[in-house]
Amino acid sequence: MTEVLFLPPQLVSSSVPSSFEGLVLRSERVERIGDHRWSAWVGADQLVEWEWEGGRRGYLGESAANVELTELLWQRPWDFGVVGSVVLGAREVRVVPTGLRGGGMVQVSGPEVLDGVQRLGVLARAVAEGLAAESLERSVVRVELVTGPAVDVVRGELDAEDRRRNPATAQDELVRDANVLRVMRQFRADGVRFAVRRGEVREPYGAERCMTVEEATSALACLAPGARLEVAHAADGAAGRERLWADRGGEAYRTVFNESTEAVGVLRAVEIARCVRGVVGRMGRGKRYGHAHLWRDVPQLAVWAVGRQLPLVELHREGRGVGAVDWDVLVRDRLEALTVGVAEGLREAYEVLRPTGESGKRLRHAEVRGLGFWTELMEAYEECGVYADAAALDSL
């Protein structure tokens, strides 16, 4: 039966014969973590001169993950082993303590890789490309050693882990943005929860006082100062928002969340977007033919078009005094009339572009919802001179 042996220092000389053909590791710290399982922290230089067997896949070379891991090894070798590990199965493991803070010499007979082929491959390639030996020595890697019946258990659990892993998304990184964190704190001070993280319970705003980052992003993409049509179009769907969030240093993202973004402006944008969507939703209800389906198919475009007639430069400002925008009055008393006028103008411009009244599925889904059509429709809307009710505009 395979077993793990822990030998006292006085038996060191007799326990590691010169003819031993297995792997010998000098570990800074060795500890037992369960039956037939040990953890050892070793310098990466000890893992590069071995012909490894095992692993479900070979080294994947220039995969995105390996490229990033290689860059880490070259630039910051001391951080290479901060996360991750190499898991080795073995026929037998012998540990000889050195008496230095839990360190020891680990003799591994018949090692095979259960997990860590890519990490080992990165090390081997870096050595072949001339990475200095001292850099490898500075990189401490956790090696888990498994023997006996634990080998099949660990191998099975490692295989299953690929199915259980929840991959990270761009939304998961939003809480690392100082501007988003600042807005979260501002909302919290006002008794509103700004739900940014995936997995958070999302209650409707007004009941549990919750604002979601998805709705905020869609609204700000239309109404933030400097917003562009292509960003508003992208932010209307989950995939587009994810792409927007992924480029946190990009112009589009910086339009939505930046140093000037304030909770009060986010709240205004969401309330305006909800109002506009509600109005065009009622306008399109029950109208199944002609050009009125535009209101049901692209309410985000209506939000964008209404935004072009609002004083958006003041969105994130706490206006007071003469000349300041009274956003509460605007939303309560003026926004619905303005929205009706803009929505009718969009429909009329649509009718000019498509006078035959096409309303088939192909048009509604493949064209009306596309960015190209949004651009064409907005140009026609402006050229036709079809605007919202003048009285409503003058009172803003």
pLDDT tens string, the chain, 396 residues long: the values are: 344 444 443 333 344 555 667 899 999 899 999 889 999 999 999 999 888 888 888 899 889 999 999 999 999 999 999 999 999 999 999 998 887 778 899 999 999 999 999 999 999 999 999 999 889 989 999 999 999 999 999 999 998 988 888 889 999 999 999 999 999 999 999 988 899 998 877 665 544 578 899 999 999 999 999 999 999 999 999 999 999 999 999 999 999 999 999 999 999 999 999 999 999 999 988 766 678 888 988 999 999 999 999 999 999 988 676 667 889 899 999 999 999 999 999 999 998 888 765 555 545 656 888 999 999 999 999 887 654 444 444 444
205-209's contacts with Cβ under 8 Å and 24+ in sequence apart are 205/270
Tell how strand 23-34 and strand 4-6 pair up: unpaired
Q: How far apart are CA 136 and CA 126, in angstroms?
A: 9
Q: How far apart are CA 244 and CA 159, in angstroms?
A: 33
Tell how strand 104-109 and strand 92-97 pair up: antiparallel
Residue type, 291: H
Find residue 27's DSSP bridge partners. 42, 104
Q: How far apart are CA 299 and CA 303, in angstroms?
A: 6
Residue type, 158: L
The SS3 call for residue 20 is: coil
Q: How far apart are CA 220 and CA 257, in angstroms?
A: 8
- Find out whether 303 and 233 touch, Cβ atoms under 8 Å: no
Q: How far apart are CA 253 and CA 353, in angstroms?
A: 32
